[in-house]
Amino acid sequence: MNLEMKGNINQPDSKFREWQISKRYLQSSNLKQYAKKHGPELQSCLVNLEWVRMTLNESKAKQATQLGKKFTPEKKGVWRICQTQPPSGHETRLYVYVDNGAHLLYPISVGDKQGQQSDIEGVCRLVASVSKKK
């Protein structure tokens, strides 16, 4: 029996660029304020952000894709990452701008269910102003 394999299966895909996380547009004062009241929930969002990055890399995703309830699109390149711990914790969302071309995830702001619409609008305004400068 002759099993011929073409190419090297251990050779990395040279065309795939790994996804990275950039803090360039991170509103750190927003995160610090939020952490004072809901630290475990914020930490869960940050863990989920890393999980998203790793999952996109493992699947060699060319573009961001919805990953269950943890990572869902909002609008204009803004995505939401939800906390998964603690189970009965305060509903928390980390808003991330996704640059599919550069394979970059930009965490920007954090908020909760009550402020979700205004949080999304604020992040979209920031993304629009950044996009104009490119």
pLDDT of residue 14: 60
Percent of the chain with pLDDT over 90: 73
| Residue scoring higher pLDDT (6 or 114) | 114
pLDDT of residue 11: 43
Structure tokens that stand for 61 in this block: 């995703």
pLDDT of residue 52: 96
**Residue 9 pLDDT > 50, yes or no?**
no
Q: Which of 13-27, 32-46, 62-76 has the highest mean pLDDT?
A: 32-46
Terminal alpha carbon distance of the chain: 57
**What's the whole-model pTM score?**
0.85
Q: Cβ(95)–Cβ(124) under 8 Å?
A: no
Query: Which amino acid makes up residue 65?
Result: T
**Residue 106 pLDDT > 50, yes or no?**
yes
Quote the CA–CA distance of 84 and 64 in Å, as a whole number.
Answer: 20
pLDDT of residue 70: 87
Quote the CA–CA distance of 85 and 83 in Å, as a whole number.
Answer: 6
**Residue 117 pLDDT > 60, yes or no?**
yes
